[in-house]
Amino acid sequence: MVSLVFGVLSIATSFVAVGFILGIIGLIFGVIGLEQINRLKQSGKLEALGGIICCLLGIFLTIKSSISIILSLS
């Protein structure tokens, strides 16, 4: 659940560098959570995967917007 929240926040703040940081933190939490879910046979696998996907999307959007801002300034 934490990974999903960080993923949504990283998408929402992808126009600033904060989105990248939130995406990395959420990605770490998502991978750790997914490993625990698989090891302990718990539920919540889709939430962890959704969080990982949102975090990756947030990281990608942050990098893309940063590149476009740099290119537009030069």
Q: How far, in Å, CA of 68 to CA of 27, rounded?
A: 24
Tell me the per-residue pLDDT of 2-37, one tens digit each, with 9 for 90 and over.
Answer: 899 999 999 999 888 889 999 999 999 999 999 999
* Mean pLDDT, residues 65-69: 90
Amino acid 27: pLDDT: 95
Rounded CA-CA distance 45/20 in Å is: 23
| Domain map (residue ranges) of the chain | 2-69
